[in-house]
Structure 1
Amino acid sequence: MRTLLRPVLADVLLAILLTVLTVVTLVGQPGAPAPVALVLAALSVAPVALRQVAPVLTMLVMIAAVGLASLLGYGDLPSNGIGLLVAMFSVATLRSRRVAAAMFATTSAVLVLMFASMLDVVVWSQLAQSALILAGAWVLGEGTQRWARRTKQLAESAARAVADERVRIARELHDILAHHMSVISLQAGLAEYVLESDGPTARKAIGTVADTGREAMLEMRRLLDVLRVDRDEEPDLRPQPGLEMLDELIARTRTAGPAVTVVVSGAARSLPPGPDLCAYRMVQESLTNVLKHAGTGGAQVALEYGPHTLTIRVTDDGPAVRGYHEGHGIRGMRERASLYGGVLTAGPRSSGGFVVSLRLPLAEQ
């Protein structure tokens, strides 16, 4: 509310200043001005106070005051027409081009009437000069409107970019935490279960918990280094994970219980960093869901390198899924895939278990 009042207050002060100067100028001329002349002169500038609230009405009042003053023979434009220029600028800034054109035409007609009433012959050079000045106010106002529109579009674009970045960061955090915490939870439970009966298995499980925790912290640090404002410390510039780290991901998942097999067909090739991270996160999220929902059943990760596409399919032989509802993880994978022109499908299998399939386009080689 306060930000809206400030421009209006400035307009009110401008209107008061212009009105006082106009009246003082008329009073200072030889001969006492008629009261009607003073009122019309004031009306030619005072409505500036409402130029941002009702720009068209403001300009119409000013045009009527100037036109009536000319018809009554009160001489030249009050305040040299500065009120009309401000009004023309305001209409061009706040209203459409069609409305501004109508106001310009109306004002031009009044100017012709004024010059005709003052002189026996219209001096076209003076009329053209006045029209050009008025047109300049129109062009300046329309340019200001375009600039304001452009500024608003840039602000909206920046807001969308911030929102998209928040979604991306949330997706990365989900992928990192969901997988590693699932492994940690399962291994901690296993260690507690066999702590007294099977010491070596318990130690191995505790070691897996430690390794997984360190890896989660490392990936979190990589992500948070990008967001740090304080750059006194050198950020971790190691690349994000990709399919070259798939073996480590599979091994870590196997330690949590499920028997995971990997099948690769076609000529394997490297991917750009974005699609490579997308493919890795898809497998990571899918195996996390296997840990959560399929228990210790088997799972398969199949990578098929075609001439133009890479297809990754993660399946498990867990129990039949009933009442399936897509969660945040699946939606996040689908959104990530769409960023790189990929298509992701997911759903329960008729024979039991679940399947997630990702198809990513590959660059020509």
Structure 2
Amino acid sequence: MIATRRPLPLKRVPPGVWVAAFWSTLILVRALQRPDELQRLLRYDGNIEDAPLLVTAIVTSLGTLLLFRAPLAAVSVALAGAVFSLGMPVRETPFVLFLLADAAVCHTAATRSRRVSTLAAVLPVGVLAGYTLWRLAQGYFFNLAVPATLASTVVIAWLIGNTVHQNRAHAQTVRTQATQQAITAERLRIARELHDMVAHNIGIITIQAGIGSRVMDTQPTETRKALDAIEATGRETLADLRRMLGALRRSDQESAPLDPPPGLAALDQLVGKNAAAGVRVALRWEGDRRDLPSDVDLAAFRIVQEAVTNVVRHSGIRDCTVTVAYECDELAVDIVDLGCGGTPTGSGFGLAGMRERVSLLHGEFSAGPRPEGGFRIAARLPLPRPMAAGR
């Protein structure tokens, strides 16, 4: 089981509790400085000096408690406090509480759906409109710029919150797309590795099984050799599969696999394995052999492995020539056979996997029948500049 870290006790306290504690401490300190004010505060009559402070404390504490669970209620509480404080001696109190309602609108637009945030913005604008009409109906003419300015603050708060909401949604979409692309790339990489690893070994097993079945009655020694080769190749395939499955099951915290991926150094072993199966591979090395980046080394080996597998499956012969050329700024791999040729249809995964490997390394790949007969696969893999310069 995965142990989950429990939050610290102080982090579990709702923000509204902290706000209430702050205001309670402030009011208590002021009341202790003037004991007579404490008695008037307890029997609140609306005329005490600290009435605006008390209303602000109640509104902010209750609004903060409601903001994260019921944002519309938080906006309503702030508006109710602003309306209630209109007749108080501190004339700035209604404006402060209305700005608190704006802050609640901004938070709602940033964290909730468009429908909820729009309704949260409509509430203060509706209160302003209703208050303005009531004042005008009572015959009190005042500067209409004040409610218009307050309404504009609501619009600005909503726009800011909506922008934050859109930015978060866009960032989440980008992260989701990046994750899906990474998953797809990893899935294709695993598919290429499984295809190149299993298909070649299964091809060798098939050839050995065919040889064994033909000479079973006449050449028991050759049959035994074919069965031994089938057993060895099968064990190697199972070991490779276990190694790959182990890497897939390994968590990020665990160490990486100790077995290095195959590279061009394993070509001699590949040639020997195919020779035992009756496939003759002429291996040529050109240029100065040197260490290669692991991705280039693995790609070159898999290309040769898959090309030899295709020779066995499709060419009609069991001879091919593999040329590996170390050039100044790239590695060239060329596989040629003199079989029946044919046109690559792209219906299989072999050529597609080779093309993907070369494309990921920004190289060049070609595959097709030769004019003089046979089939040719060629890949040119660029080398990094430090690798290309160091010879």
In the superposition, the TM-score normalised over structure 1's length comes to 0.69
Match of 1:353 among 374, 388, 391: 374
Whether contact under 8 Å (1:324, 1:348) holds in the other structure is no
Contact kept in structure 1, 2:317 and 2:338, CA below 8 Å: no
User: Does structure 1 residue 170 correspond to structure 2 residue 191?
Assistant: yes
- Tell me how far 1:24 sits from its aligned partner: 10
5+ residue gaps, structure 1? 1-9, 31-43, 76-110, 118-126
Does structure 2 conserve the Cα–Cα contact (< 8 Å) formed by 1:317 and 1:354?
yes
Task: Indicate how the Cα distance of structure 1 residues 193 and 233 shifts in structure 2: closer, same or farther if over 3 A, else same.
Answer: farther
Mapped partners of 1:70, 1:53: distance in 2 = 26
Q: Is the CA contact (8 Å cut-off) linking 1:318 and 1:353 kept in structure 2?
A: yes
For residues 178-231 of structure 1, what are the alpha-carbon distances to aligned partners after superposition, in whole Å with 9 as ceiling and x for unaligned?
A: 000000111012112212211221122112112212222222233222111479
Provide, for residues 253-306 of structure 1, a one-character-per-residue CA deviation record: whole Å limited to 9, x for no partner. Answer: 122222211122211222111110000000000001111112333210011221
1:182 aligns with 2:203: yes
Which residues in structure 2 correspond to 1:109-258 (within 5 Å)?
113=144, 115=146, 135=156, 138-229=159-250, 236-258=257-279
1:305 to 306, 311, 326: 326
Q: 1:82 maps to what in 2?
A: none
Q: Is residue 279–residue 312 contact of structure 2 (8 Å, CA) maintained in 1?
A: yes
| Contact residue 242 and residue 280 of structure 1 kept, 8 A | yes
Q: Is the 8 A contact 2:343 2:368 kept in 1?
A: no
Counterpart check, 1:276 vs 2:297: yes
| CA drift at 1:151 | 2.4
Residue 187 to residue 139, structure 1, CA distance change in 2 (3 Å): same
Rate the CA distance shift 1:23–1:264 in 2: closer, same or farther, 3 A.
Answer: closer
Deviation at 1:354, TM superposition (A): 1.4
Answer whether contact 2:344 2:367 (CA < 8 A) is retained: no
The match for 1:66 is: 128
TM-score, normalisation: structure 2 = 0.64
Output the amino acid matched with 1:227: L
Distance in 1 (CA, whole Å) between partners of 2:338 and 2:377 is 13
- Per the alignment, do residues 24 and 140 of structure 1 end up closer, same or farther by CA in structure 2, a change over 3 Å counting? closer
DSSP-derived class of the 1:344 partner: strand
Residues 145 and 51 of structure 1: CA distance in aligned 2, closer, same or farther (over 3 Å): closer
What is the CA-CA distance between 1:148 and the residue it aligns to?
Answer: 3.0
CA contact (8 A) 1:304 1:312 kept: yes
SS at match of 1:73: helix
Deviation at 1:55, TM superposition (A): 5.4
CA contact (8 A) 1:192 1:202 kept: yes
CA contact (8 A) 1:187 1:208 kept: yes
SS at match of 1:315: strand
**Secondary structure in structure 1 of the residue aligned to 2:144:** helix
Deviations 1:139-173 (A, max 9, x none): 35423432332122112211210111011111110
CA change 1:174–1:54 in 2 (3 A) is same
Number of matched residues?
298
**CA distance in 2 between partners of 1:278 and 1:294 (Å):** 23
Looking at structure 2, the residues matched to 196 and 27 of structure 1 have their Cα atoms a distance apart, in angstroms, of: 106
SS at match of 2:199: helix
- Relative to structure 1, is the Cα distance of residues 308 and 351 closer, same or farther in structure 2, using a 3 angstrom cutoff? same
Structure 1 residue 238 displacement after superposition: 1.3
CA gap 1:161/1:74 in 2 versus in 1, 3 angstroms: farther
TM-align CA RMSD: 4.0
Contact 2:315 2:341 in 1 (8 A): no
